Amino acid sequence: MIVKVCGLRDPDNIRAVERLPVDLCGFIFYPRSPRCVPDDEFHAAAVRSCRRPAVGVFVDALPAEMLRTAERFGLDAEGAFQVVGGLAQEG
Kindly list the averaged pLDDT for each block of 10 residues, start to end, along the chain of length 91. 94 94 95 96 94 93 91 81 76 59
Residue pair 25/4 in contact (Cβ under 8 Å)? The answer is yes
Helices marked H in 1-91 — which ranges? 11-18, 41-48, 63-73
Q: How many CA atoms lie within 13 A of 58 on its CB side?
A: 21
Q: Which of 45, 49, 54 is nearest to 25 (CA)?
A: 54
pLDDT for 84: 87
Q: What pLDDT is recorded for position 34?
A: 96
| pLDDT at residue 85, as a whole number | 82
Residue 80, pLDDT score: 84
